[in-house]
Structure 1
Amino acid sequence: MKKRITYNFSLLVLMLTVIFACQEEDQTFGEIVEPSNLVVTATIVGQDASNPNGDGSGLVHFNATADNALSYKYNFGTSQLNAPSGSTSFTFSDLGVNTYTVAVVAYGTAGVSTTSTIEVEVLATYSPPADLLDALVGDGSKTWRIKSEKNGHFGLGPVGGTVAAEWYGAAPGEKSATGMYDDRFIFNEDGTFTHIVNSTNDDPATDTSGTIFGRDPLVNELGPHSETPNGADIENYPYQDYSETWVITAPGGVETINISNLGFIGYYTGGNHRYEIFARDIPNELTIRTTDGNSEFDWWFIITSEEEGASNELQTIYNTLAWSDEFDVDGAPNSANWTYDLGTGDNGWGNNELQTYTNSSENVIVEGGNLKITAKAENGSYTSTRIKSQNLFQFTYGRVEVRAKLPVAQGTWPAIWMLGSNFETVGWPNSGEIDIMEQTGQDKNTTLGTLHYPGMSGGNANGGSTTVPTSTSEFHNYTVEWTPDVIKIAVDNEVFHTVINSDALPFNDNFFFILNVAMGGSLGGDVDPAFTEDSMEIDYIRLYQ
């Protein structure tokens, strides 16, 4: 099947008319030189002697060069892409082998241009799975938005990185004044993509006006504007509702949303307008990424089809109890499950902590069905306990649930966490660390969930937080769901932090448990001068696999 594309030169004629009409105003453009020797090449991904039309992904890399050219534009029929450098990629999605004629325009000074075409014969075999189409489209009324209430809902990282928002992730609500959060995105069943730029102004009648958020100067591709950049951002750029087309492809096996022309999601970054689906394990939620037009960053977004305030309930795949400690026998912790770290921070835990860890019943005891770890002030110093399952119980993957009540005193730093069993040989953070629950000494209404690993450790760790106002007065369930694909941290079954797992991360081998209450230090901060003692109580710790 032959698919021809014709480029419309009316814009060029209009531009030249304006140029000559303005000569009386003595405007100078310098020497106007039409680009020449325009050469366009195409590389079909997976093409070889056995696969002359490619590997079935439909992905083709294009490169254009011309003398005296300042920029380039590709016309693929249903989609047009600006390519300042002359290089771009496009995924053809019509099933089977099809021949496409692609028009390429090279622009010179004052808008003069030269056009050339190239034909490519491409095989596309990918058909998106029904569950993904259903997730995007639903019953036809599903509307998506940036999940502004979630940590890391918008961010950036290195091109090709595997950690969501590795270099920067926006805090909940951080970009509320930019024009992004009121946008809505609809993937219609007929293949059209609708972007509503202000979802709050359509009552009682439709108002297509609004504002969007974009990267300077890439957002200039949408047209001229008068907004002053805020750093490298253009905030509240006036724009109108619009429609484009969308299609799902899977180049290299990665499910990807392709939006035609200048359509985009969340924050305008230029580029190829392809959004790789990095995670879709949480119902009604997608983690997506795209590379900007400068090939400078990967931009990450978390989008959801639930209205703000909707539940983010943990959906577990582990339901068989594999190990537990119910703390139902009074006395010292069960020696078959727990051993101790003893001494001061000089022994290896550091962080400027003030306590000395002991195995004294004054600091740790099981009574009344609970484990109690108590930090005490003693003669100007502090004692506490840190118990661990190292060399007694360790595991890979599962759902860990710990029911606990936390200390209230300023300066206490309680933690429920896991450490890679190989840390003594590979060191930290190479071993990996999963903090199921930490709480600072100064904010007892907030719970932290954090992962430490190479490149993301210490104060630069990959973490999230959630509000738990009754953490010191009531028991709550602190949970991690750890799979080969994803690590989710939750409180009372509500997920508040998600990290995509991969072979590149140290979360695919045995870990062991640690329970402790530290005093002061990097998260404990200043201790209340009137502090005498306070405890973390744990009802049970359970592992499901």
Structure 2
Amino acid sequence: MIAMIKKYSWLMGICFILFSCQEDIPGLQPMVAPANLSVDAAVAQDQSGVVTITPSAENVITFQVFFTPGGDPVILNPGDSATFRYTRSGQYTQPITVVAYGTGGISSSTTIRVDLDVRLFIDEATLQMIAGDGTKRWVWNKSEAGHFGVGPLTNNFPEFFSAGPDQLNPCLYDDVLVFSYDENDNYSYSLEAGTDNLTFINWTEVNRFFPDASPQQFVDECRDITDQASFANSFVIIDNGDGTRTLDIGDSFLSYFAVIPGQYEIIELSENRLSVRGTSMPFNGDDPLYWYHTFVPEDFDPNAGNGGPEPPFDTLVFADEFDVDGAPNPDNWSYDIGTGDNGWGNGESQYYTDRPENVIVENGVLKITAQTESYMGSDYTSARLLSYQKQEFQYGRIEISAKLPSGGGTWPALWMLGADFETNTWPAAGEIDIMEHVGNQQNTIHGSTHDPANFAGNARTVTTTVPTASDEFHVYGVEWDASEIKFSVDGTVYGTLENNGSLPFNKDFFFIMNVAMGGNFGGAIDPAFTSSTMEVDYIRVYQ
């Protein structure tokens, strides 16, 4: 018996030692459901459709607010509010569900119903442009390159694909978008599908509608989806307050189906042009994409009004002779400052300034100097002048007398950009390069045009050789009309590129003069480079 007591005493001692040396084991956090969930709903009384939701509850960690059944939730912390705008006009009751989450994932929820009286107004000028005198019918601008395109969210142009004239399946082009309104400010949208009710569908979505289909990668298909998708809804144009506008067509779509959730950013809206950009949200997990669409009225003739003046262009309508020392004339020129997006989209290495060290008028010439220096995080500085909203022209003969810089990596350019580039993003706006030169190809002169079907490394280009490009002044010119663009040096034409009504070269363009360093075209920069200057004696425009 005494031996047994000793044995158990020994064991109890071991247990005491073990437990006294261990850290306390934390207990599981108790799971507590949120209590007393309530929702305050503030409905704007201006018929704007704006509703602000403020939830509250005890023992809550986070809230989810579902403004529309099946929609994505808005996540709120305790004390926060969420605002949503309903864009369907009329008097109706809208359910809003709030889910409150406590510890351990325990939740409580409630659904409230708010009474709405929504009348969304579109100003008269905008309404006239999109819906005419009551109804307006729009079709794809298929005769113009770039009427359909796709690109990543990181760029503002269709980097991945841009359709040429009439390039896509006819089942896309026979669709009609119909925008209508009545005297009570009811705005309606409908899509009239063409032959056999076929709709052009992104290939990744074919399986969603047709599970037994086997779509070929990147090959979109024509399918009848009238039983699965909405072809009619109300529409509204929303001013986002930041200079952009959104065309909201509810759960419908603008002819091409690519899981774009009914809202399109308006790039351009005029009497004869509707350009938009929608963001796709693929169900298959692919990255979202920007989809670019351009439409024209059904009765619009794309070739009308593009005859333009014909040569000879012998009337001087603009000139800058650079005969006043100091900064360039502010009536003609402004500046781009900084590095732009990814080196102005070309991987360039310079920082553009408006300092006299980089741009100045002296002794009757404009001097743009690129130089090696550490400035604002860049290793080079230069200047880029533009005549945007100051001097803009459609057609004519342009002459620029210039002596070019030299050195590996220098990239001087005298060029023109479509004046609508802010709403009609590059390359859709069009670009005419009067002269481009790179120091790594000394004495080779390039003349090019960029459009949605031919841009960046695929631009239409003509070249010539000027043996004294960096030693003497030469006159670089274009003669530009509705049918062609001729490139010349010292009055001698060395290349001609076609122009027609499907290309973006039948409108106002403005001038840009710059010297870049490196980049996709400039190439490797000579480590021994210190500075070099482009000198411009004059720029003249004749019409």
Which TM-score band (shorter chain)?
A: 0.3 to 0.5
Q: TM-score, structure 1 length as denominator?
A: 0.45
Structure label with greater radius of gyration: 2
